[in-house]
């Protein structure tokens, strides 16, 4: 009994010691990173939208912008074509289409973003699936002149099948219909009726002009009838942490860490990502596929120890028993 009491006292003291590092987990849970993808039909303006967001958030290097401006001038275009910021393949720049998935990174004061520009052509639909597979948000662009297209429907159903929890329908090229409120409302109603078939709880609609920048990163006066905010603000404030599975605890092991140093001589940690649920020190766990059961000895991010951690944190976990993977 005395030994058990001592063990319990030790656990309590360790928990007290780890109370401060626990805040590191809270920081990981603050929705700092949002993964989003664009989708839609050919020439709906997906690459232009991403280029606009990169440019307006000052995420474009000066030499990158100059190269895009030179390409635009060479092609005889009157304005700088921001779509070239995401068209990485030579064939994409020459044809003016997106073929491969292009990933871009940018951040604001409120959030970090990973954005994927996916193809609109039917023959590249599988590339769209790849780009959207890990997204928190899907932005599906709709040409304001044409309304819902076949690819609008196809990409919407794919987003639903992938269980992307948030879908934003961006009705683009509003400048080409003179920012007509009635036309936007008609497309919005059509989209509402269609999206009722989707398995998505959060569907939003916004009128934009990616080319002119209306309602992309700033509210446009040309759509004074639109009472919502701009697209970037919408993305900054979407709540994504609650989308995670917080019930079924799963930890994917990627590698085993053995420092072989004097300080960490007997250390054997399993590094990976918590893909769902949460874990805490002392918790009983089962290792698959062997079915071996053990308990969590400790968890850490680099040298900072944690008392608990939850999805989507990447951590190093030590177990009370050494196991072979």
Asked whether residue 68 carries a pLDDT value surpassing 90, the answer given is no
Comparing CA positions, the residue from 108, 312, 83, 61 lying closest to residue 217 is 108
- Residue 140 clears pLDDT 70, i.e. is over it: yes
Q: What percentage of the chain has pLDDT greater than the value 70?
A: 83
Task: Determine the Cα–Cα distance for residues 46 and 48; give it in Å rounded to an integer.
Answer: 5
Q: Check residue 90 and give its pLDDT.
A: 40
Alpha-carbon dihedral 240, 242, 244, 249, rounded to 10 degrees: 150
Q: 33-238 belongs to which homologous superfamily? A: P-loop containing nucleotide triphosphate hydrolases (3.40.50.300)
Q: How confident is the model at residue 112 (pLDDT cuts 50, 70, 90)?
A: very high
Domain ranges of the chain: 2-29+244-319, 33-238
Query: Of 205, 152, 126, whose CA–CA distance to 43 is shortest?
Result: 152
Task: Tell me the range of 23-37, 113-127, 175-189, 241-255 where mean pLDDT is highest.
Answer: 175-189
Name the band, by pLDDT with cuts 50, 70 and 90, for residue 325.
Answer: low
Q: pLDDT band at 29, cuts 50/70/90?
A: very low
Per the prediction, the chain carries an average pLDDT of: 82
What pLDDT does residue 46 have? 86
Residue 275 has pLDDT above 90, yes or no: no
Domain 2-29+244-319 CATH (choose: 1.20.1260.10, 2.40.30.10, 3.40.50.620, 3.30.70.980): 2.40.30.10
- Asked if residues 264 and 160 have their Cβ atoms less than 8 Å apart, the reply is no
Q: What is the pLDDT at residue 317?
A: 94
């Amino acid at each position: 009994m005395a030994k058990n009491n001592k063990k319990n006292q030790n656990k309590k003291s360790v928990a007290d010691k780890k109370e401060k590092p626990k805040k590191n987990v809270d920081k990981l849970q603050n929705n700092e990173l949002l993964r989003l993808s664009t989708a839609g039909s050919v020439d709906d303006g997906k690459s232009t939208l991403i280029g606009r967001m990169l440019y307006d958030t000052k995420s474009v290097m000066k030499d990158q912008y100059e190269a895009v401006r030179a390409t635009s001038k060479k092609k005889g275009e009157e304005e700088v074509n921001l779509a070239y910021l995401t068209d990485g393949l030579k064939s994409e720049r020459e044809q003016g289409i997106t073929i491969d998935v292009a990933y871009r990174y940018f951040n604001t004061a409120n959030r970090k973003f990973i954005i994927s520009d996916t193809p609109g052509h039917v023959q590249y639909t599988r590339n769209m699936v790849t780009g959207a597979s890990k997204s928190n948000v899907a932005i599906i662009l709709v040409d304001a002149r044409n309304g819902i297209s076949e690819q609008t429907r196809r990409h919407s159903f794919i987003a639903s099948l992938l269980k992307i929890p948030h879908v934003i329908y961006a009705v683009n090229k509003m400048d080409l219909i003179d920012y007509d409120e009635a036309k936007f409302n008609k497309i919005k109603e059509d989209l509402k009726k269609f999206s009722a078939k989707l398995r998505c709880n959060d569907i939003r609609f916004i009128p934009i002009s990616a080319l002119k920048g209306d309602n992309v990163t700033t509210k446009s006066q040309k759509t004074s009838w639109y009472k919502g905010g701009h697209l970037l603000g919408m993305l900054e404030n979407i709540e994504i942490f609650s989308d995670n599975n917080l019930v079924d605890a799963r930890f994917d092991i990627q590698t085993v860490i053995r420092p072989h140093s004097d300080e960490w001589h007997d250390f054997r940690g399993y590094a990976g990502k918590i893909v769902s649920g949460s874990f805490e020190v002392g918790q009983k766990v089962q290792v698959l596929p062997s079915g071996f059961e053990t308990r969590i000895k400790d968890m850490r991010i680099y040298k900072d120890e944690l008392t608990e951690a939850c999805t989507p944190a990447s951590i190093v976990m030590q177990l009370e028993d050494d196991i072979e993977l």
